[in-house]
Chain A
Amino acid sequence: MNQLIEIFSGVGITQLTAGNIAMWLIAFVLFYLAIKKGVEPLLLVPIGFGIFAANFPLTGLLEEGGLFYIFYHYGIENELIPPLIFLGLGAMTDFGPVIANPKTLLLGAAAQLGVYVAFFGALLMGFTISEAACIGIIGGADGPTSIFLSANLAPHMMGSVAVAAYSYMALVPIIIPPIAKLLTTKQERAMVMTQMRMVSKTEKIVFPLLTSIVIMLLVPKSAPLIAMFMLGNLFMESGVVERLTNVSRDALMNIVTILLGVGVGSTMTAETFLTWKTIGVFIMGVVAFAFATAGGVLIAKLMNLFTKNKVNPLIGAAGVSAVPMAARVVHNLGAEANPQNYLLMHAMGPNVAGVIGTAVAAGAFISAIL
């Protein structure tokens, strides 16, 4: 009899809890969103499967030495994977629009205002300073940066922060238009911007070096993200390391995306995810996004009061990162107000500046809190 009990106690089904089943359901929702609705499938499929597999009892996946433990500990906790994702992003990003119109960098900064509004909102909801910083950074609409900051400041919240960040990034076409329309007149949205100047190859090669010098000297804690972002960009712009460029944006990017997704998903066990804090993360995440959009638009309007070459205030809304979806949404809004309006390349400036701005904001949080 004792032997029988021993055998059964080693079978997973006898240890299954209601919490495990609830987490499976959450994983199935992510699969549905990714597969049926096309919401960030590259991330939500591996994250969903990470949640699904991590919530089987007795597998040992999450114990020290277990497979998911290795993904998480060596890949995410040790801050390896988010910078590698940035390497791939750098090898895909054209900074031409920022170089042609450097004041769009300020619009990328303006969109970070949402990060700080959500930071205070989260504090009012009872989160600690470290947790509030991780929630605020969702407003930067940058998944790898959110994960990087959570790994540093609040690892227990990484799963919910990552899922909120990627979910809201997919909702950019729903979140940006009402806020941008509310804060601009039709005349402002219809404004046609002057054509951007041509950017030389030399300028594009110098940009990643200059950016590295400025940012890593002023906010050293953002170095892991910025260094790899700029290295990837230098690969691409130099034109002499095609193999490295291709591997950074294709094979390596795909491999680390799998490890990142499964590693983040595996942190979402019933005990850590099924808490009131997760609901708070999702509420403040959307607040962060909304204020980030508003910040970009309002600062663009403010800039227009003092500068000769006016910008269409809509492009400020693209500062929330979510490259290139936010820029496309802004372009469509401009074209809706004036079919002659072609804002896509103009909006790419604040869009990629937003990625830099979010990495700087994350570095500033780490410097101030740790």
Chain B
Amino acid sequence: MVDWDAAVRVALSGIVSVFAVLAVLQVTVQVAGAIINSQAQKQKEKQKA
């Protein structure tokens, strides 16, 4: 007999984990990209000046 409560818990925790983790990673990558690129831009402007 399948324990459906446990099965639903496993599936829900899995779906939430996958989407939450990848959403957090998306935001982190976006923010890190913006910071790195703005630093690189500043560096370039400094060199030009």
Contact = CB atoms under 8 A, between A and B. Distances in A.
Given A116-B14, A219-B17, A360-B18, A106 B36 contact: no
The bracket for how many chain B residues form the interface is: 20 to 34
A48 interface: no
A210 B28 contact: yes
B36 A202 contact: yes
A133 to B, nearest CB: 7
Nearest to A124: B2
A113 B15 contact: yes
Contacts of B20: 218
Interface in A199-240: 199-200, 202-203, 206-207, 210-211, 214-215, 218-219
Interface string B11-41: 1011101111111111111101100110010
Interface stretch (A10-18, A96-104, A159-167, A181-189): A96-104
Contacts of A214: 21, 24-25, 28
Interface residues of A, number: 43
Nearest to A108: B22
Contacts of A115: 14
B6 interface: yes
A113 B30 CA distance: 24
B48 interface: no
A21 interface: no
Interface stretch (A38-46, A169-177, A252-260, A361-369): A361-369
A104 B21 CA distance: 13
11 contacts: A98-B29, A102-B26, A112-B14, A123-B7, A126-B2, A203-B32, A210-B29, A214-B24, A218-B21, A353-B22, A368-B14
